[in-house]
Amino acid sequence: MALESVSHIRFRSWLWLAFFRHSIVPLLLVEALLVVAYLATNATIRSSNINYLHDTATVALAHEAEREAELIVRRLSGVETLLKVFSEQTAKALQTPYRQVPVEEQANYARNGNGVLHSIADIGGAASFYSAITPAEHQSLDKVYRLSRLDPLMKSLVEDQPLVVQSYFNSFDSYNRIYPFFDTQTQYLATLDIPSFNFYYLADSAHDPKREPVWTNTYLDPAGSGWMTSVVAPVYRGDFLEGVVGFDITMERIIHTILAIKLPWQGYALLLDNDMTMLAVPESGQRDFALPVQPQGLKKVSQETALPTAFNLNKRQDTALLARAIAAKPKGFMQMPLGGSNRMLAWARIPDNGWTLLTVVDENTLFANANGLAQRFRHVGLLMIAGLVLFYLVFFLYVHAKARRLSDSLSGPVGAIIDMVTAIKKGNYQTKAPPLPLVELQHFANGVADMGQALGETVAALEASETRVRQALENSGDVVWEYWPNNQQFLVYAHSESGQPPRSLSLRQYLDSCHIDDRQRMQEVLVQGLKTAEPFSLDYRVKNSAGDWIWLNARAQLNTPVNDPHPRVTGITTNISRRKAIESALKEARDAAEEASKAKSLFLSSVSHELKTPLHAISGFSQVLQCQVTDPAALRSVNQIVAASQHLNQLIEDLLLHVRLEKHSLSLAPTLIDLADVAGQCLAMMAPEAAKRQVVLHSELSGSLRYFGDGGRIKQVLLNLLSNAIKYNKAGGSVVVCLTYQEGNIGFEVKDTGIGIPNHSTARIFEPFERLGNANSAINGSGIGLAVSKELAELMGGYIEVSSKEGSGSTFTFWLPWTGERADEVS
Ligand code: ADP
């Protein structure tokens, strides 16, 4: 049996692998999936958190920006209202004559060498400066006096309004009245052209057609008061612009307010003027925007003081986009990198002066909590993975140890079963199953024990049977052998000494012991048997130990496939010397019988021929005498001589025919004949004899039946059957003749109502000279008729069948081979 290639694995490894594949791996997969799901959920939660925070921050920032902007708007609106009041009062003062100018007031003005009309000392009012750009003759002292009435108002405006640090009036002809008092001569250029400054022209009709208060750009106060802005409003007399009133507003408070704004997520606010210059920037903002330290120091108000470009969002490259966005929309939101990380920015415009409040939050801070939380979850996830790894390590070790214990507890019983099987293999069939803990293994062990028992019984039965066969072989004298053609060796299993090991013999040795006449044939038969694998048999002679030739018969067959590279022939050899002796004796006896038969035939034929000549003479003379003798007694004797000679003649004819048939020297002369006609002729010939014996002849033949055969011999057989049917009949009996058919044969059936034939004698009636005890009866006969008829029928390829009942008649059927159509079909 061809074994399939199987990879072997130890039970322990198999068990461990099974555990690993079917429990640990799925568990591991599930756990890994859970961890992945956990981490994915964390990531999702984090991203939703961040989105939520982002949205919240956006809303909060925008809200904060708007709220703070609103506060600033309210403050600035208050200032504007006061400025309007101041403007109205100034216009009124300019129009109202001032007749009673206090002496102290009058004494406080002087004109210096440059042509500047100025106040001399601080007498609790405002400082006054008439620029030399207006010639002295045009400088209006009256206007100066009229305006001096505004001093208390200007004072109260500055003192009551924390934002207002200076209140002033500038006239179209470069007169300046300003509170609080300072030494204008040292601060101003003598030819100061006031209308050329923005705090003047911004309120002129060209720039401010609506005559509303106008805010200037912010600037750093050259006098060291920090960030400043001015709000100015025109003072008209009719459509004539008399001048501009204004407040200088310190940004300090606003900036403080803005710097103090506490935004969530450590955010901050900053203020942009309408030129996108950053006015109030807290420290973190300065870091974010990388701002230099703000320029300080006093400067003459000879030029507009501006901040470095770094403070202007428009002029910086990194914030140009933001500046455009802010300029485009009064309220908005944006994300951009700033100071090395992403920032969220929201802004709201202050409509009064076009400032913008910008709120900034660092995304890292905003998302710090969410990121921290996610980080913590990630740590938990990593801890879980580490825990899982540790758990599986321990679990692996546990399962490994378990598999080891399990395999030990299984391999013990399995080993016991293997021991049982080994014992059975060694012939110890009566093994007992040891008690085992597992039911299935116990059943298995019991089964092995039962199998061993059954095997033992079978082996015993086989041995007994083998003993019987061996004894039978020994008794039969047969020898069993095997032959290997490849090395031309025989292995002979001796029969006589049972238990003796087989004897090895080469083909050459064996052939040498065989009769020289048989050797060639032996080899031929062997070669043929090997080629065809058919069973073969051979009789040959071998010299026995006594030196006599004995006859052996070998029957053998190739019992491997024809193309097997190691062919083997198994055979049995029988001593057939006795059979050969009997066969030879039989042959001798048969030869002798044949010789005797030949001698008998020769004798019969020569005697018949010898008898025939005198018989013809007797027959001829007696027939002549029949005609010549008139004496009735003599005629009766002559008639008897004629009848006897005819009978004898017939006998001789039959004998000669029998001899010829035995010698196979008779040949047929077939022609086309009509069988019905042949039968009719026979009936006609036998009619006188039937009448003489008072037997009714009856024919059931009709029509014609063509047949190709020897008509004379057919007639001869039929006449013999009819003659017997009449001879062995009873007076008043009948004979019926008909044609009958069966598959491939046509038969003449001759049925009589005669004496019949005993059952046990029907076979004998066809033997020559057998008359069944009628030899001495009155019925003439020689016992040769049926023998000749049978031989003739067989010569024609047919046979004779007989059925009879003693005392009630016989039926003889003469069958001939038939290939034509049936008579009734033909006729
Ligand atoms: P035989 O010359 O005696 O008739 P046969 O060979 O014709 O010789 O017949 C052999 C014997 O068979 C007969 O002697 C007779 O005893 C028996 N026999 C033959 N035909 C019949 C028959 N029709 N009825 C009874 N006996 C028969």
Helix axes 25-95, 141-148, angle to 10 degrees: 120
Q: What is the pLDDT of residues 582-599, one digit of tens each?
A: 999 999 999 998 888 888
Strand order in 549-558's β-sheet?
503-506, 489-493, 479-484, 569-575, 549-558, 536-543
Q: What share of the chain is helix, strand, coil (3-state, %, to 5)?
A: 50, 20, 30
Res. 821: pLDDT tops 60: no
For the chain, percent of residues with pLDDT exceeding 70 = 95
- In sequence order, the 6+-apart residues with CB closer than 8 A to the CB of 377 are 38, 42, 45, 46
Res. 307: pLDDT tops 70: no
Res. 496: pLDDT tops 70: no
- 801 Cα: distance to centroid of ligand 1 (angstroms): 14
- 771 Cα: distance to centroid of ligand 1 (angstroms): 6
Token pair belonging to 645: 């000679």
- 781 Cα: distance to centroid of ligand 1 (angstroms): 8
Model confidence at 365, in pLDDT bands (50, 70, 90)? confident
Average pLDDT for 278-304: 63
Query: Atom of ligand 1 at shortest distance to CA of 755?
Result: 25
Highest average pLDDT, of 340-354, 575-589, 772-786, 810-824, comes from 575-589
- 791 Cα: distance to centroid of ligand 1 (angstroms): 16
Res. 825: pLDDT tops 50: no
Helix axes 439-476, 368-425, angle to 10 degrees: 30
Q: Which residues of 683-704 are buried (b: 16+ CB within 10 A; e: fewer)?
A: beebeeebeeeebebeeebeee
Model confidence at 397, in pLDDT bands (50, 70, 90)? confident
> Which residue's CA is the nearest one to ligand 1's atom 2?
781
CA dihedral 423, 429, 432, 438 (to 10 degrees): 70
Look at residue 190 and give its three-state secondary structure.
Answer: coil
As a whole number, the mean pLDDT across the chain is 86
- What lines the ligand 1 site, CB under 6 Å? 724-725, 728, 752, 754-757, 765, 770-772, 774, 781-787, 810
Q: Are 172 and 184 in contact (CB under 8 A)?
A: no
> Which residue's CA is the nearest one to ligand 1's atom 20?
724
Query: Atom of ligand 1 at shortest distance to CA of 809?
Result: 24
> Which residue's CA is the nearest one to ligand 1's atom 21?
724
> Which residue's CA is the nearest one to ligand 1's atom 9?
783
Q: Are 94 and 235 in contact (CB under 8 A)?
A: yes
Res. 683: pLDDT tops 90: yes
* pLDDT on residue 127: 94
Q: What is the pLDDT of residues 18-54, one digit of tens each?
A: 878 887 788 888 888 888 888 888 888 878 877 887 8
Average pLDDT for 217-239: 81
Res. 697: pLDDT tops 90: yes
Model confidence at 297, in pLDDT bands (50, 70, 90)? very low
Q: Which residue has the higher pLDDT, 113 or 262?
A: 113
* pLDDT on residue 74: 84
Q: Which residue has the higher pLDDT, 769 or 469?
A: 769
Token pair belonging to 162: 């924390």
Look at residue 270 and give its three-state secondary structure.
Answer: strand
- 242 Cα: distance to centroid of ligand 1 (angstroms): 191
- The residues facing 479 across adjacent strands are 573
- 811 Cα: distance to centroid of ligand 1 (angstroms): 12
Average pLDDT for 432-461: 89
Query: Atom of ligand 1 at shortest distance to CA of 786?
Result: 6
Range of weakest confidence among 4-13, 235-244, 666-675, 804-813: 4-13
For the chain, percent of residues with pLDDT exceeding 90 = 39
- 727 Cα: distance to centroid of ligand 1 (angstroms): 8
